[in-house]
């Protein structure tokens, strides 16, 4: 860890860093900032929650600080609107004592205001691939003077099928520019992309590619039809800060949201069918603590950065290991502790093995006490059922969230659990 003062950056940026409360660099920042400031291409292998946004934002601001403001000089491409907004928030916070201006462009919102805004000063553009490509084709923006390109969560962009769009976007860029790419995992097509765009990059890998060490993992073997009751059981006996629940589909997100709402939890949903406005409202409401629980699909959740998320619950098993890493990267952020609970159906055992391989550890199985498992054979492996891994200890939860040690039912605005 280094002090930001040692990094040769302008006092205008240092003052902004101080105002957001960062005292020392995170490891990815310590290693990325000096290399990027020298103009080198960077391949950053870092999980989410490591501080990578500031790791690329600070060099961008430093390099552009005296920019003429005539054209876009830095482009940050991100997979989702939420992540784009999140990045823009960091860019705006850290550039507040400079003249630099940033803008986000992404689908799902009216294009006209973006076009109007693009006619004014924009130094740093944060964009999702589809809408950016539209603007390029329609010539409502150009990237002829681009100096720095960042591809953030490149593995997610690949998962979401954005690689062809990105390849097209690259054809609009000047030959000479600096590239930085960040990913938590490195699927082959991303590796091929980096081979194409990079000029002898510096590879910076923070730890192994696995989730933040501050997260502990637990599996709940269960049947599909018990998930709702098991979730209620967990929520009712868990003392936590904020909880993120992931489901596999928009429909299931709506359903879980409705179940919890009916049970008087302070809950909000986030899924791709909602308008951008509604998505922002959900996200902001959760961030501001208006809600204790956010139920989300994977796509909608990419940019979530709420530092008090103490628990991530995988209501449905993620379909890839990368998705698991991204999901649980939403807790245990910036060195806070977090817990990841995953409901495991019998058919999920293959995925669990793959996740365990990446984590380098077996995930502890827990069983809910006083819960009706019916005739489900969750206990078919007696070795798994040790006293220590049964779900029973409130104190455990309290330890991880001293700030939020109320249980759900004691929650300040929590209404009693029957609506009568
Ligand atoms: P990121 O990995 O960029 O999504 O950042 C994860 C979280 O870490 C965000 O909430 C940041 O505000 C926070 N963060 C980033 N850099 C630092 C730092 N140097 N010190 C403390 N917190 C930081």
- Rounded to the nearest whole angstrom, what is the distance from the C-alpha of residue 289 to the centroid of ligand 1? 19
Q: Write out 58-71 in H/E/C secondary structure.
A: HHHHHHHCCCCCCC
Q: Which of 46, 51, 215 to mutate to test the pocket of ligand 1 (most atoms within 8 A of CB)?
A: 51
Atom of ligand 1 nearest to the CA of 49: 2
Atom of ligand 1 nearest to the CA of 86: 4
Residue 395: band (very low, low, confident or very high) from pLDDT cuts 50, 70, 90: very low
pLDDT digits (tens, 9 = 90+) for 335-348: 567 888 999 999 99
Give the pLDDT of residue 302: 63
pLDDT digits (tens, 9 = 90+) for 373-389: 887 765 444 334 333 33
Give the residues surrounding ligand 1 with Cβ less than 6 Å away. Answer: 22, 25-26, 29, 48-54, 305, 307, 333-334
Statement: residue 402 has pLDDT above 60: no
Task: Report which protein residue has its CA nearest ligand 1's atom 15.
Answer: 51
Average pLDDT over residues 304-312: 77
Give SS3 for 296: strand
Give the pLDDT of residue 95: 98
Q: Rounded CA gap, 166 and 163, in Å? A: 5
Give the pLDDT of residue 93: 97
pLDDT digits (tens, 9 = 90+) for 85-122: 999 999 999 999 999 999 999 998 999 999 999 999 99
Atom of ligand 1 nearest to the CA of 4: 19
Q: Rounded CA gap, 390 and 384, in Å? A: 9
- Rounded to the nearest whole angstrom, what is the distance from the C-alpha of residue 48 to the centroid of ligand 1? 10
Asked whether the domain spanning 215-393 has the same topology as the one spanning 4-205, the reply is yes
Boundaries of every domain in the chain: 4-205, 215-393
Which carries the bigger pLDDT value, residue 302 or residue 283?
283
* Level-2 CATH architecture, domain 4-205: 3-Layer(aba) Sandwich (3.40)
Residue 407: band (very low, low, confident or very high) from pLDDT cuts 50, 70, 90: very low
Statement: residue 419 has pLDDT above 90: no
- Rounded to the nearest whole angstrom, what is the distance from the C-alpha of residue 74 to the centroid of ligand 1? 21
Q: Going by C-beta distance under 8 Å and a sequence separation of 6 or more, which residues neighbour residue 289?
A: 242, 308
Task: Please provide the average confidence, as pLDDT, over all residues in the chain.
Answer: 84
- Rounded to the nearest whole angstrom, what is the distance from the C-alpha of residue 342 to the centroid of ligand 1? 25
CB 157, CB 126: distance < 8 Å: no
Average pLDDT over residues 272-282: 82
pLDDT digits (tens, 9 = 90+) for 163-203: 999 999 999 999 999 999 999 878 788 888 888 888 888 88
pLDDT digits (tens, 9 = 90+) for 54-82: 999 999 999 999 999 999 999 999 999 98
Quote the CATH superfamily of domain 215-393: P-loop containing nucleotide triphosphate hydrolases (3.40.50.300)
Half-sphere exposure of 411 (CA within 13 A, CB side): 26
Query: What pTM was estimated for this model as a whole?
Result: 0.62
- Rounded to the nearest whole angstrom, what is the distance from the C-alpha of residue 11 to the centroid of ligand 1? 20
CB atoms within 10 A of CB 382: 7
CB 302, CB 80: distance < 8 Å: yes
């Amino acid at each position: 860890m280094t002090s930001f003062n040692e990094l040769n950056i302008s006092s205008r940026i240092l003052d902004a860093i101080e105002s957001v409360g960062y005292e020392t660099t995170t490891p990815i920042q310590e290693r990325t900032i000096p290399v990027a400031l020298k103009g080198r291409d960077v391949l950053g292998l870092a999980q989410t929650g490591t501080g990578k946004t500031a790791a690329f934002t600070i060099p961008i601001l430093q390099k552009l600080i005296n920019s003429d403001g005539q054209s876009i000089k830095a482009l940050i491409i991100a997979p989702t609107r939420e992540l784009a907004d999140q990045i823009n928030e960091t860019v705006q916070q850290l550039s507040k004592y400079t003249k630099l201006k940033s803008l986000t462009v992404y689908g799902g919102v009216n294009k006209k205001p973006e076009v109007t805004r693009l006619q004014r000063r924009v130094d740093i553009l944060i964009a999702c691939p589809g809408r950016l490509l539209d603007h390029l084709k329609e010539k409502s923006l150009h990237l002829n003077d681009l100096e720095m390109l960042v591809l953030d969560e490149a593995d997610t962009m690949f998962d979401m099928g954005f690689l062809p769009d990105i390849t097209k976007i690259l054809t609009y860029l000047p030959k000479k520019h600096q590239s930085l790419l960040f990913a938590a995992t490195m699927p082959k097509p991303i590796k091929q992309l980096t081979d194409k765009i990079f000029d002898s990059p510096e590879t910076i890998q923070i730890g192994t590619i696995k989730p933040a060490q501050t997260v502990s993992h637990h599996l709940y073997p269960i049947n599909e039809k018990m998930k709702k009751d098991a979730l209620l059981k967990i929520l009712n006996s868990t003392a936590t800060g904020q909880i993120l629940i992931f489901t596999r589909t928009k429909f299931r997100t709506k359903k879980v949201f409705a179940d919890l709402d009916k049970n008087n939890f302070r809950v909000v949903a986030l899924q791709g069918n909602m308008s951008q406005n509604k998505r922002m409202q959900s996200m902001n409401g959760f961030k501001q603590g208006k809600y204790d629980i956010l139920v989300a699909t994977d796509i909608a959740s990419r940019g979530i950065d709420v530092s008090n998320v103490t628990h991530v619950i995988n209501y449905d098993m993620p379909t890839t290991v990368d998705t698991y890493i991204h999901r649980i990267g939403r807790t245990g952020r910036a060195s806070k502790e977090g817990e990841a609970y995953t409901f495991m159906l019998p058919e999920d055992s293959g995925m669990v093995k793959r996740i365990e391989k990446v984590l380098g550890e077996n995930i502890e199985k827990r069983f809910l006490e006083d819960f009706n498992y019916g005739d489900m054979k969750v206990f078919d492996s007696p070795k798994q059922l040790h006293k220590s891994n049964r779900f029973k200890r409130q104190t455990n939860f309290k330890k991880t969230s001293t700030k939020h040690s109320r249980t759900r039912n004691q929650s300040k605005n929590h209404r009693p659990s029957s609506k009568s």
